[in-house]
Structure 1
């Protein structure tokens, strides 16, 4: 299985920490110290999870002429902030590409949806039911977020990314998706209440941030080390680690546990905030043009509900 291209879409509007200082009295320095966030993007009027998914898809095809749009035979989208729970982001992307009667799947496994979506593609490919797929991850966090929540209201940003994946190699520059490992730790600790989004209640809330921090550090480091060991990759030989963009302190902790050079970690949370399941994919898009032959990349994720995973990519 091969990753041919990845592209991102970010809304134009930028919300700095000064907004939350005015709103809640949260100091810029305090937000940066606790989260690493300096600013985040906010979807504009008329934008939502579906429109951002389409924009990311459009950007991916525009940059990858070898991956013909009319050859797509599978669409998988991930989001926990849907614009429409019936006409989902996957349906919106399918309608945009104009291909009828192909499998079209939307999922939500919190911030780990990216890797679960890739696994779904892996399954369709293995069963011979598809050969070329689009995976789209998109989050419209600000549609659900309560900005006045001083515990988590300042964390969230909006954005999307699209991955073009094929069963057979299309180009010598394709990345090999060597392995994807995912799991769920819902029985652990406060997984059932640490991060929740109940649209009929208060939107996104995170009453147990410390528990999320501890479990994210544990599981992201563990699953990453599993991939390194299984594929006989020494830590210094890992070109990039792209962690879920939830908190810069989590990323730094995982890097420290692994003994990885901090310069190898890809982070965008300082500029984008927590963009949910799109964050790591956006990070991959940001380094895409820097990748060269022999590079090894691991994407590792962790989400509310305590789902987690890691994916090894070889150039």
Structure 2
């Protein structure tokens, strides 16, 4: 049976770099405070002609080039995002138009930071039904438009960017072979971003504070490490795979404390964990595909070797995925 295989990857990052030292001029913080607590030294901030869909299109175009696929060959475009260009139409429709992917249907998904991993599972199931499908999956965020720049607990964490992958069916033993995904909507208040204020007075809420990210950082830390570790261990056990069998782990780039605690809890050697949070911060749904593309272009993804992805985000949503590269 053919599995869903990543044929190519791409990423796109805004030109502007916002350092911790520059943030000191915006909010009550310091480079030492941010670096020691998060591992983040800088992040990218979108500017003119770097709207969400434009970053997504650029990443998608690079993934198509890497895969040797033309836009007209695509059957589906999915964009994972919590910061879409518009609520309607979907960012994926903008990407479809920009690429000229006239034969693809298109839509967005929202699973917060877990969006790209959820999207990989989605693509896997499409390809299981139609192995010849060619799918462009993108994680794209412009979170600089969705943070409260007066809140030092959140504004220092997030950045902008996009990452993409092209998938299709392959029967050579490679591809996605296991997923373990979860959600718990009861815990939504730990990490959320409100909608714009209702235009219907009867639906306006007294507790509405603004359409920006709000987070309970200490609780998120505890849940993120424990739930990702449980998901990974369950997935490895179900496929009779040990940590030593993993060639590379690419986790969601939330902050360095979460990544180190997760690594230690799982027993994964430091050299097998891909980390770039220091350069880009938390880019939510774009986090894993940006890291995946960097790892690919650095030659750290070895054909035939097992790659592990794990993620955690608002919802709460979390999970893990195994593929043979």
TM-score (norm 1): 0.92
- Which segments of 5 or more consecutive residues in structure 2 lack a partner in the other structure? 197-208
Residue 129 of structure 1: CA displacement? 9.0
Q: Secondary structure at the match of 1:135?
A: strand
| 1:193 maps onto 2:193 in alignment | no
Residue 57 of structure 1: CA displacement? 0.8
- Provide the residue aligned with 2:229 in structure 1: 221
Aligned 8 A contact 2:112 2:315 in 1: yes
Q: Distance in 2 between matches of 1:255 and 1:19?
A: 31
- Provide the residue aligned with 1:184 in structure 2: 183
| 1:299 maps onto 2:309 in alignment | yes
The number of residue pairs the alignment matches comes to: 308
Q: Secondary structure at the match of 2:265?
A: helix
Which one of the candidate residues 256, 259, 263 is aligned to 2:267? Answer: 259
Q: Secondary structure at the match of 1:257?
A: helix
Which one of the candidate residues 282, 288, 300 is aligned to 2:290? Answer: 282
Q: Distance in 2 between matches of 1:45 and 1:293?
A: 38
Q: Distance in 2 between matches of 1:308 and 1:161?
A: 19
- Which segments of 5 or more consecutive residues in structure 1 lack a partner in the other structure? none
Q: Distance in 1 between matches of 2:45 and 2:178?
A: 33
Residue 311 of structure 1: CA displacement? 1.1
Deviation string for 1:106-151 (max 9, x for gaps)?
A: 1101111112212222232233396110001100000111222122
Q: Distance in 2 between matches of 1:240 and 1:51?
A: 30
Which one of the candidate residues 235, 238, 242 is aligned to 2:246? Answer: 238
Q: Secondary structure at the match of 1:112?
A: helix
Q: Distance in 2 between matches of 1:145 and 1:175?
A: 39
| 1:75 maps onto 2:77 in alignment | yes
Q: Distance in 2 between matches of 1:272 and 1:244?
A: 12
Q: Distance in 1 between matches of 2:242 and 2:125?
A: 29
Q: Distance in 1 between matches of 2:245 and 2:131?
A: 35
Residues 1:195 and 1:138: Cα distance change in structure 2 (over 3 Å) = same
Q: Distance in 2 between matches of 1:218 and 1:89?
A: 33
Q: Distance in 2 between matches of 1:260 and 1:144?
A: 34
Q: Secondary structure at the match of 1:203?
A: coil
Deviation string for 1:247-296 (max 9, x for gaps)?
A: 11111111111111122111111100110011011111111132223421
Q: Secondary structure at the match of 1:151?
A: helix
Q: After alignment, is 233-242 or 273-282 more displaced?
A: 233-242
Aligned 8 A contact 2:71 2:100 in 1: no
Aligned 8 A contact 2:184 2:317 in 1: yes
Residue 176 of structure 1: CA displacement? 1.2
- Provide the residue aligned with 1:206 in structure 2: 214
Q: Distance in 2 between matches of 1:225 and 1:286?
A: 26
- Provide the residue aligned with 1:91 in structure 2: 93
Which one of the candidate residues 38, 58, 63 is aligned to 1:60? Answer: 63
Residue 6 of structure 1: CA displacement? 1.2
Aligned 8 A contact 1:4 1:175 in 2: no
Q: Distance in 1 between matches of 2:210 and 2:38?
A: 22
What is the root-mean-square deviation of aligned Cα atoms in Å? Answer: 1.8
